[in-house]
Structure 1
Amino acid sequence: MRLSEDQVARFRDEGYLFLPDTFSADETAVLRDEAAHVFTLDREEVWRETSGVARTAFAAHTYSEPFRRLGRHPRLIEPVMQLLDGQVYMHQYKINAKAPFDGEVWQWHQDYGTWKNDDDMPEARAMNIAVFLDDVTVANGPLMVIPGSHKAGVQEAGHDLETTSYPLWTLDRAKVAELAEAGGIVAPMGKAGSVLMFHSNLVHASPPNISPFGRTIVYLSLCEVENHIRRFKRKEWIAHRDFTPIEPLDDDCLAELVAARRRGTAAE
């Protein structure tokens, strides 16, 4: 999948791009069911809220076939290669859940701030591309971004080890207010199967989910291969050390799983 010149220009200016209906309802259903299974696993890669519900499952592409295929899907990999102008490797892979009633906050932060401070990634030649597995609405803790904040570069951040179960390098309130005054705040929302791409310096956060509706999003954090990390203090399943360029699969790689599931249902 290739972005248009207008889409590229919009990404450069605003720091994010929303692509509705990137995956079909059937493809998304396969991934949503698999995410529910992954969240039940007793693995160190699955982090939980203080309430016990799943918060994040790291590196699911290494132990789940549907998520392995998603991690090499051309609708995700090719646009990122286009924007970063080079081959990419998987720096991080997360399935983030906002469980009904219990999904906690993600504080205001820049992803590159964490990647720079914790992993010694040389430059912000990396980005996120996110797949909505549920409909994302105003009610269930949507991701909020500050358009254009990526242009301000890396911001000073403090290491928050207390607010949630996951430590982040977070921005203080004064800086968030300053950036929001300049760029505003938007919350890209849409149906399951939509995709959100955003720059690694884009300031973003999400509120708690106090609704009865779950919200699960898969994040591929992709880095240009020459920009790979130099520090290895975090566990490999959090910050990957395989810098092999990703070779995209065929576009029907998830559709094959849909067809296999239909065959299995018919056989029953």
Structure 2
Amino acid sequence: MKLNETALAEFREQGFVFLPELFSREEAALLLAEARGIYASDREEVWRETSGVARTAFAAHTYNEAHRRLGSHPRLIEPVEQFLDEQVYMHQYKINAKAAFDGAVWQWHQDYGTWQRDDEMPEPRAFNIALFLEDVTPANGPLLFIPKSHKAGVLKAGHDLETTSYPLWTLDRETVSKLAAEGGCEAPIGPAGSVVMFHGNLVHASPPNISPFDRTIVYLSLCAVSNHIRAFNRKPWIAHRDFTPITPLADDCLDELVAKQAAA
């Protein structure tokens, strides 16, 4: 799947592009059911909030068939290859839960800031492409983006090891306020099956979810093969060390599993 020129221009200018209902509700429901099974498992790849509910599950594409297929889905892989003009590998795959009532904050940060500092990724030639597995609304902890902030480059950050269960290189209030005064603040919202692609340097966060509605999003962090990481400081299921280019599957690669779920 290729992005049209309008979408490419929006991505270049704003640092993100929103693609509503790119996947069907049936495809999203399949992946959500698999995610819930993963959250209920006792795997080291599943990180939990202090309340005990799941916060994120890493590397599901390596141990779950539905997510394996999603990790090579052309609707996700090809737009990133198109923009980077190069094949990509999976730097990170995670399913972020924002559980009803208990989903905690993700502080203001840049993902490439972490990839550069912790993994020694040479350049910001890596993007996130995220699939909503549930409806994302203003109430259930949506992503918050500061448009155009990717143009600022890598910003000074502090390593926050205390606020949440997951360590993060975070930005201070002065920096975020300055960027927001220039670019504003937006929250992509939409139905399950929608996709948002955003630059590795785009400043983003998400608030706590105190609503009674879950919010689950799958993130593929895709990196140009020539730009692979040089340091192996983090667990291999957090920052992958297999730099093999992804070969996209057929567009209907989830259909068989959707049919099995419907028949069950």
TM-score range, shorter chain: over 0.9
Q: Which residue identity does 1:144 align to in structure 2?
A: L
1:120 aligns with: 120
Deviation track 1:21-62 (CA, whole Å, cap 9, x = no partner) reads 110111111011111101001000000000000000000001
Kindly indicate whether residue 150 of structure 2 is the aligned counterpart of residue 146 of structure 1.
Answer: no
1:236 aligns with: 236
Task: Work out the CA distance in 1 between the residues paired with 2:112 and 2:70.
Answer: 23
Q: What secondary structure does 2:254 align onto?
A: helix
Q: Which residue identity does 1:124 align to in structure 2?
A: P
1:50 aligns with: 50
Q: Which residue identity does 1:25 align to in structure 2?
A: R
2:187 aligns with: 187
Deviation track 1:157-199 (CA, whole Å, cap 9, x = no partner) reads 0000000000000000000000000000000000000000000
Residue 6 of structure 1 deviates from its aligned partner by 1.0
Task: Work out the CA distance in 2 between the residues paired with 1:33 and 1:12.
Answer: 34
Task: Work out the CA distance in 1 between the residues paired with 2:256 and 2:147.
Answer: 37
Q: How many residues align?
A: 264
Q: Which residue identity does 2:199 align to in structure 1?
A: H
2:81 aligns with: 81
- 1:125-204 matches, cutoff 5 A: 125-204=125-204
Moved over 4 A (4+): none
Structure 2: gaps (5+ residues): none
2:246 aligns with: 246
Q: Which residue identity does 2:128 align to in structure 1?
A: N
2:23 aligns with: 23
2:215 aligns with: 215
TM-score (norm 1): 0.98
Residue 18 of structure 1 deviates from its aligned partner by 0.3
Task: Work out the CA distance in 2 between the residues paired with 1:255 and 1:136.
Answer: 24
Residue 260 of structure 1 deviates from its aligned partner by 2.3
Q: What secondary structure does 2:95 align onto?
A: strand
Q: What secondary structure does 1:212 align onto?
A: coil
Task: Work out the CA distance in 2 between the residues paired with 1:83 and 1:147.
Answer: 18
TM-score (norm 2): 0.99
Q: What's the C-alpha RMSD, in Å, of the aligned pairs? A: 0.6
Q: Which residue identity does 2:233 align to in structure 1?
A: K
2:68 aligns with: 68
Residue 256 of structure 1 deviates from its aligned partner by 1.5
Residue 259 of structure 1 deviates from its aligned partner by 1.7
Deviation track 1:189-212 (CA, whole Å, cap 9, x = no partner) reads 000000000000000000000000
Q: What percentage of residue pairs aligned between the two structures are identical? A: 73
Q: What secondary structure does 1:253 align onto?
A: coil
Q: Which residue identity does 1:38 align to in structure 2?
A: I
